[in-house]
């Protein structure tokens, strides 16, 4: 038999419900996490959308480092690849915000995170010359069946 909780015995007040994970983020990030959510979305779906939107935005922003580094080294084709990724990812995020089509957004982000490292490795001249940058493609999560 289980023990009766202290709040049920009148000793403590009933505990407050926990806020969903995406609501524990800083206030300035919330508009980005709410991008593309629907009122009918469950907490799990909202969390998935928030994580993908935040990670895609972060990767798109950090690609400036790659573009700048390759441009400074005079590797213009290698700089153009992450720049094209930035443009495509920004377009994907914008489209998701407008249409709320999560499956399209998820598929586009997964494909871009798979293709980018291999394209960079090709442009840098192979496995050894690129410091095995294509291995980053293996960090891409598998698509979910939903």
Residue 91: what pLDDT? 97
pTM of the entire structure? 0.74
Return the pLDDT at 68: 95
126/15: higher pLDDT: 126
Is the per-residue pLDDT at 16 higher than 60? no
- Check residues 68 and 22 and name the one with the higher pLDDT: 68
47-61 pLDDT, tens digit per residue, is 889 889 998 999 899
Give the model's pLDDT for residue 130: 67
Complete DSSP assignment for 83-130: HHHHHHHHHHHHHHHHH--HHHHHHHHHHHHHHHHHHHHHHHTSTTTT
| 12 pLDDT above the threshold of 90 | no
Residue for token pair 């005079």:
74
């Amino acid at each position: 038999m289980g023990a009766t909780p202290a709040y049920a015995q009148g000793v403590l007040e009933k505990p407050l419900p926990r806020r969903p994970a995406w609501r524990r983020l800083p206030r300035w990030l919330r508009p980005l996490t709410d991008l593309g959510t629907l009122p009918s979305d469950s907490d799990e779906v909202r969390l998935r959308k928030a994580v993908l939107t935040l990670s895609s935005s972060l990767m798109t922003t950090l690609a400036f480092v790659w573009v700048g580094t390759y441009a400074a080294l005079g590797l213009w084709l290698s700089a153009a690849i992450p720049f094209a990724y930035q443009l495509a990812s920004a377009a994907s995020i914008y489209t998701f915000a407008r249409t709320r089509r999560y499956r399209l957004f998820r598929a586009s982000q997964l494909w871009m995170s798979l293709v980018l490292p291999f394209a960079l490795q090709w442009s840098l001249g192979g496995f050894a010359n690129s410091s095995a940058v294509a291995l980053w493609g293996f960090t891409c999560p598998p698509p979910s069946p939903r």
